[in-house]
A and B are shown apart, each in its own frame.
Chain A
Amino acid sequence: MTGKPILEIDHLRVSFRIQDQYYAAVDDVSLTVNEDEVVAIVGESGCGKSALALAVMGLHPPQKTKLEGSIIFKGTNLLSLSTSQLNKIRGKDIGMIFQDPLTALNPLMTIGRQIEESMDYHMKLSSMEKRQRTLELLKRVGIPNPEKTYHRYPHELSGGMRQRVVIAIAIACEPSLIIADEPTTALDVTIQAQIMGLLKELQQQMKTGIILITHDLGVVAEMADRVAVMYAGEIVELADVETLFHHPLHPYTRSLLHSIPSAQTRKEKLHVIQGIVPSLQKMPRTGCRFQSRISWIDESKHEPNPILREVEPGHWVRCTCYQHFYFPHDHIGDVGYGIS
């Protein structure tokens, strides 16, 4: 499981320009993905997960984005590459699965052409070979009747089928890393399970590294080897999946796990993390960023400039507030983290 690292993100900061000022959506994130490893990134909407994924793919509009730090992929810093150099890597060594299969495919191109397109630029194949390979890919992602689907247009397929096509595009050139940005969010529950099953199967066959971005903790428990919890652009906790679910430390992680409704405990009230993720412009730039949402914890318990510390081997936590965290009494029941 612990192969050599293929992706090393080091002190990455992604800032967006809003009215001539830059605001960091991803702040000081360091993360390593090894070969054949699934790293999940979890967090609420607006915590910087997708911004991180798009930064790795170089998909942020360059005029409005500032990228600092480094993203080393197989020895090359992706941030130092020009677009045309990056184009030799994306699609070939790194594949991306997008959130919404309904909009991720070009409505005017046949499914077959859209899958073949990445082969056009990364593989030297004749058109017959490309077609053959595309049909195999379609079969591999579980599309019945590949020959027929090859000539179909996206609008003729269901959401689940389209997501399979998106996956086929991502794995077309056998990448060593796949970035899956909430691959099941737009799908209904039964289809979600099928797609996650497919992803897991493909990962085991191809031994690819996967960055799995999600807010679905059930998916994390099922798929991930390691988990990074992000809040307000920062990683607040990083651990392997068992540790994170059984010994979560950071108040945010604990609150997230606590929010999962559990059938066994039948709590009358669902746990809710008070407040919302602050907007980019209002984000506190010093101190513990989660402070405002756990107001019952005394201010002095937070670090003035919280850093990510390794509290036990492989388990990293930001800020010291976790040592003093408790759920207030009006939160009913502090049992069961909803994983079973």
Chain B
Amino acid sequence: MLKFILRRIMMMIPQLFILSVLVFLLAKAMPGDALTGQLASNPKIDAQTLEEMKEKLGLNDPVHVQYARWMKNLLQGDLGISYIHKQPVNDLLAGRMWNTILLSAAILILTYMIAIPLGIVSGRWTDSWADKLIVGYSYVSFATPLFIFALIMLFIFGFKLGWFPTGGSVDIQVEKGTFAYYLSKLNHLLLPALSGALINTVGTIQYLRSEIIDTKVKDFVKTARAKGVPESSIYWRHILRNSFLPIAAFLGYEITGLIGGSIFLESIFSYPGIGQLFLQSILQRDYSVVTALVMISGLATLIGTLLSDIILSAVDPRIRIE
């Protein structure tokens, strides 16, 4: 098992290398550079100053030289300096990263808390009114774009009812490290997490539902019934365990989806995470931040798939890795 994980991590190195080249080239291919947005359109700055700044920032070097420099710093854990924020990307990310991880984890937990019971009910009692209601909900949530749904949630629960704060990740007055601080964090987290989760459940519900419907007519379930196993144990021991396999396998990919979702959620709820930063950085052409964030989400995706493989091999003896 440990060997397998190590091998998988080794395999991630060339994947990350290819990703880094792609990210770098794509970032370079974006029209304009860090100076285009604010400085170049400023009439007070003449062309020569602009050129000097470009030279100073190394933007005139050949592409491979720029890549090598970026890669060298990356390997040393230095993600560069944000042109816009004028501070190291590392510092810029530190706090936001935790916020995003917190939000993603909250979405994931809420998603499973909602989707698993619904999926089970829907799969076990197919065609019942409860099933129809759940399927109806999952179609609606499938058809609703996250950013519209999040806006509606924000409008109703944030502005109209005032149950939740409408922005930020924590109240400014509370002192860091106190109980009130964590409570405030949680309070800020709930609405965006719930908005994300309610839209995110559809995949898990549908997967689980169709897996249960498939599994409950399988031969080994008949064998179990023929043994005289009571219905509740048939479900828990035989049907559900088998039906959870694809859900477990999907966990890693959920993480990828959450990163994409966080861009909308964090922007709408003005939640200071990397999603919000990502959008801002693209708009402001803050390359070093964009490339750093794409690299990080690439890494998260790879870790997610690794996680999926590990979970799957833990629950399914057929894919147990020697």
**Residue positions of A touching B, CB distance < 8 A:** 54, 57, 59, 83-84, 86-92, 95-96, 98-100, 103-109, 114, 117-118, 121-122, 153, 155, 166, 169-170, 172
Q: How far is the CA of A104 from the CA of B227 in the complex (A)?
A: 12
Please give, as numbers and ranges, the residues of chain B lying within 8 Å of A96 by CB-CB distance.
223, 226
- Is B316's beta carbon under 8 Å from chain A? yes
A170 to chain B minimum Cβ distance, whole angstroms, is 8
Q: How far is the CA of A155 from the CA of B318 in the complex (A)?
A: 7
Whether the Cβ atoms of B223 and A95 lie closer than 8 Å is no
Q: How far is the CA of A109 from the CA of B316 in the complex (A)?
A: 9
A78 to chain B minimum Cβ distance, whole angstroms, is 13
If A88-B228, A92-B228, A121-B229 touch, does A108 touch B223 (CB 8 Å cutoff)? no
Please give, as numbers and ranges, the residues of chain A lying within 8 Å of B228 by CB-CB distance.
86-92, 118, 121-122
Which of the residues B223, B242, B316 comes within 8 Å of A166, measured between beta carbons?
B223
Which of the residues A100, A103, A107, A118 comes within 8 Å of B227, measured between beta carbons?
A118
If A83-B231, A87-B228 touch, does A104 touch B316 (CB 8 Å cutoff)? no
Please give, as numbers and ranges, the residues of chain A lying within 8 Å of B176 by CB-CB distance.
none
Q: How far is the CA of A170 from the CA of B219 in the complex (A)?
A: 14
Please give, as numbers and ranges, the residues of chain B lying within 8 Å of A59 by CB-CB distance.
222, 225-226
Which of the residues B219, B226, B231 comes within 8 Å of A103, measured between beta carbons?
B219
Can you list, as one digit per residue, whether each of B217-245 has a CB less than 8 Å from chain A (1) or not (0)? 01110111111111100000110011000
Please give, as numbers and ranges, the residues of chain B lying within 8 Å of A117 by CB-CB distance.
224, 227, 229, 237
A18 to chain B minimum Cβ distance, whole angstroms, is 16
Q: How far is the CA of A88 from the CA of B238 in the complex (A)?
A: 19
Whether the Cβ atoms of A95 and B226 lie closer than 8 Å is yes
- Is B317's beta carbon under 8 Å from chain A? yes
Q: How far is the CA of A10 from the CA of B222 in the complex (A)?
A: 24
- Is B315's beta carbon under 8 Å from chain A? yes
Which of the residues B222, B224, B237, B317 comes within 8 Å of A107, measured between beta carbons?
B317
B214 to chain A minimum Cβ distance, whole angstroms, is 12
Q: How far is the CA of A104 from the CA of B219 in the complex (A)?
A: 5
Please give, as numbers and ranges, the residues of chain A lying within 8 Å of B218 by CB-CB distance.
103
Q: How far is the CA of A103 from the CA of B223 in the complex (A)?
A: 10
Q: How far is the CA of A41 from the CA of B218 in the complex (A)?
A: 24
Please give, as numbers and ranges, the residues of chain B lying within 8 Å of A95 by CB-CB distance.
226
Please give, as numbers and ranges, the residues of chain B lying within 8 Å of A90 by CB-CB distance.
225-228
Nearest to B315 among chain A residues (CB) is: A108
Whether the Cβ atoms of A104 and B220 lie closer than 8 Å is yes
Please give, as numbers and ranges, the residues of chain A lying within 8 Å of B238 by CB-CB distance.
106
Q: How far is the CA of A86 from the CA of B230 in the complex (A)?
A: 10
Whether the Cβ atoms of A107 and B242 lie closer than 8 Å is yes
Q: How far is the CA of A57 from the CA of B317 in the complex (A)?
A: 30
If A108-B315, A155-B318 touch, does A121 touch B219 (CB 8 Å cutoff)? no
Name the residue in B219, B223, B242 with the highest tally of chain A Cβ atoms < 10 Å from its Cβ.
B223
**Residue positions of B touching A, CB distance < 8 A:** 218-220, 222-231, 237-238, 241-242, 315-318
Please give, as numbers and ranges, the residues of chain B lying within 8 Å of A109 by CB-CB distance.
237
A165 to chain B minimum Cβ distance, whole angstroms, is 10
If A83-B231, A121-B230 touch, does A106 touch B224 (CB 8 Å cutoff)? yes
A130 to chain B minimum Cβ distance, whole angstroms, is 13
Contacts A87-B229, A90-B226, A107-B318 known; 5 new A-B pairs at CB < 8 A: A59-B222, A92-B228, A104-B219, A117-B224, A170-B226
Q: How far is the CA of A121 from the CA of B231 in the complex (A)?
A: 12
Which of the residues A91, A100, A169 comes within 8 Å of B219, measured between beta carbons?
A100
Please give, as numbers and ranges, the residues of chain A lying within 8 Å of B229 by CB-CB distance.
87, 91, 117-118, 121
Which of the residues B219, B241, B242, B317 comes within 8 Å of A155, measured between beta carbons?
B317
If A155-B318, A169-B223 touch, does A106 touch B230 (CB 8 Å cutoff)? no
Please give, as numbers and ranges, the residues of chain A lying within 8 Å of B231 by CB-CB distance.
83
Q: How far is the CA of A83 from the CA of B228 in the complex (A)?
A: 9
Nearest to A86 among chain B residues (CB) is: B228
Nearest to B216 among chain A residues (CB) is: A61
If A103-B218, A108-B317 touch, does A91 touch B227 (CB 8 Å cutoff)? yes
Name the residue in A95, A104, A166 with the highest tally of chain B Cβ atoms < 10 Å from its Cβ.
A104
If A89-B228, A92-B228 touch, does A104 touch B318 (CB 8 Å cutoff)? no
B180 to chain A minimum Cβ distance, whole angstroms, is 46
Which of the residues A83, A87, A105 comes within 8 Å of B220, measured between beta carbons?
A105
Please give, as numbers and ranges, the residues of chain B lying within 8 Å of A172 by CB-CB distance.
227
Q: How far is the CA of A91 from the CA of B220 in the complex (A)?
A: 14
Whether the Cβ atoms of B317 and A106 lie closer than 8 Å is no
B132 to chain A minimum Cβ distance, whole angstroms, is 16
Q: How far is the CA of A149 from the CA of B225 in the complex (A)?
A: 23
Nearest to A166 among chain B residues (CB) is: B223
Nearest to A179 among chain B residues (CB) is: B226
Whether the Cβ atoms of A108 and B224 lie closer than 8 Å is no
Q: How far is the CA of A108 from the CA of B223 in the complex (A)?
A: 14
A307 to chain B minimum Cβ distance, whole angstroms, is 33
Nearest to A110 among chain B residues (CB) is: B317
Q: How far is the CA of A328 from the CA of B228 in the complex (A)?
A: 50
Nearest to A172 among chain B residues (CB) is: B227
Q: What are 17 A-B pairs at a CB distance below 8 A?
A: A54-B222, A57-B226, A83-B231, A90-B228, A98-B219, A98-B226, A99-B219, A104-B220, A107-B316, A108-B241, A109-B237, A114-B223, A118-B227, A121-B230, A122-B228, A166-B223, A170-B226
Please give, as numbers and ranges, the residues of chain A lying within 8 Å of B242 by CB-CB distance.
106-108
Please give, as numbers and ranges, the residues of chain A lying within 8 Å of B223 by CB-CB distance.
96, 98, 104-106, 114, 166, 169
